[in-house]
Amino acid sequence: MKVKNYRWIIVTLLFTGTVINYLDRQVIGLLKPTLEVEFNWSETDFGSLMSAFSFAYAIGLLISGKFIDKVGTKIGYSVSVIVWSIAGMFHAAARSVTGFGIARASLGIGEAGNFPAAVKAVSEWFPRKERGLATGIFNSGTAVGSVLALILVPLIMQDYGWKGVFVITGALGFVWLAFWLIFYEIPSRQKRLTNEELLYIEGDNDDETGTQVESKNSASWYKLFSLPQTWAVITGKLLIDPIFWFFGIWLPSYFSAAFNLNLKVISPELLIIYGATIIGSIAGGYLSSVLIKKGWPTLRARKSVLLFVAILELIIMIAIARFVTDKWVAVGLISIAVAVHQAWATNIFTMASDMFPKEVVSSVVGIAGMSGAIGGILFPLLVGQILDVYKAGGNLTGGYNVIFTICGVTYFIAWIIIHLLTKKFTKALIPQPGLK
């Protein structure tokens, strides 16, 4: 049976997979108070578990990108989901820090495949003018998964305990996998796809000068690292991902220090902020897609949205640092800041599919994602040093203000580097045959 607009079924699968991905990784944070009591964990123990996930996730991004490009999106994404779902459920059997550490590391390895696979699927199923919107939709699953965790974990915990939380949330991946295996296939092999939609999807396989851009050759990491396009995507992740990690880790503490927020109960302030990322992710992709449909060159549209984000972030961060004294004003400004960050993330992901042949998109996204994860490991060290200095001086809020200013400037620096690396837009060809 032929289905019209089948590509939107695909993006629904990608969105749902991303929701489950972030739901599974958020569970342990919400169960932290319970697990600390049962296993007598110290803060150092819990920090070690978070480090195990982060390091494994960084390595997994590099490996999974190459693996998915080699075996294809359908198999590659399936393997990723199987690994992270089993790892999520394995938490229920862990009895020590070492056991939980193995589970967290395995979860990181598996979950690393989500974004390389999803971006590659978008490049396979969507023409350039729709990739921004499609990427924004599936990327919004990160926020939905985080918010859903806040709701589901307490509900499951009431009837099935903490072990049940890990088992049930982990099992959701297998439910999703059944739909993925049934409904996903590349467009040329998808029997449910109409001929009209197939022609529409493949209608811009040429670049904007009319030159054929696709290549059936793979590329080594060395080859990819030699290309300025790769470094443009790396820059967008390495410098900017740590800022979002900062918001995820330290935002509750900031509100506690600046506005005496009670962190022992679910906070509507934080729910509003994290929920805003859903809007930003979709809106950022939609905006660049609209510009392309209006006739703007692809990369000019993406970089224009990135420039808009950089300027807005600079203004917002300085405003937060210098002028905000009211809690709800801070909520409003930070909500905008995290929303437009997701607009940045969406367009960086989409640029990878714009500038590289489909055969290497997952590899590039994996490399860039690994860079962002490394930045996410290193940036907290700087944050901690700054906060300790200001805390010793009795002005912890002042330390946060310095960090907000650094964050605002960083977006603009990242945009300048990306612009210089991509001044001449040519899709990265991989012409050498036989590269391994």
Task: For residue 208, give the 3-state DSSP assignment.
Answer: coil
Longest dimension (CA), the chain: 69
What local confidence, expressed as pLDDT, does residue 248 receive?
A: 67
Question: How far is 174 from 21, CA to CA, in rounded Å?
Answer: 12
What local confidence, expressed as pLDDT, does residue 151 receive?
A: 82
User: In the numeric block, which tokens belong to residue 367?
Assistant: 């490399």
What local confidence, expressed as pLDDT, does residue 181 receive?
A: 97
Q: What's the CATH class of domain 1-185?
A: mainly alpha
How many residues in the chain? Answer: 436
What local confidence, expressed as pLDDT, does residue 73 receive?
A: 95
Q: State residue 193 phi and psi, 5-degree precision.
A: -85, 135
What local confidence, expressed as pLDDT, does residue 434 receive?
A: 41
What local confidence, expressed as pLDDT, does residue 211 receive?
A: 31
Nearest CA-CA partner of 104 in 114, 94, 113: 94
Nearest CA-CA partner of 338 in 235, 398, 411: 411
Decide if 225 contacts 243 (C-beta within 8 A).
Answer: no
What local confidence, expressed as pLDDT, does residue 206 receive?
A: 45
Instruction: Tell me yes or no: is domain 224-422 CATH 3.40.50.970.
Output: no
Instruction: Let me know if the fold of 1-185 is the same as that of 224-422.
Output: yes
Decide if 238 contacts 418 (C-beta within 8 A).
Answer: no
Q: Which residues of 151-168 are buried (b: 16+ CB within 10 A; e: fewer)?
A: ebbeebbeeeebeebbbb
Mean pLDDT per 10-residue segment, the chain (436 residues): 90 97 88 85 77 87 91 96 97 93 94 94 92 91 86 88 95 97 94 92 57 49 87 94 76 75 69 85 89 90 94 90 83 90 90 87 89 82 81 83 90 95 68 42
Name the helix (H) or strand (E) containing 10.
helix 7-30
Can you tell me which residue has the tokens 């974990």? 153
Decide if 68 contacts 117 (C-beta within 8 A).
Answer: yes
What local confidence, expressed as pLDDT, does residue 397 receive?
A: 79
Per DSSP, helices labelled H in 184-238 are: 195-201, 221-225, 228-238
Rg (CA), the chain: 21
Ordered by start, the domain boundaries in the chain are 1-185, 224-422
Whole-model pTM over 0.85: no
What local confidence, expressed as pLDDT, does residue 377 receive?
A: 75
Task: For residue 191, give the 3-state DSSP assignment.
Answer: coil
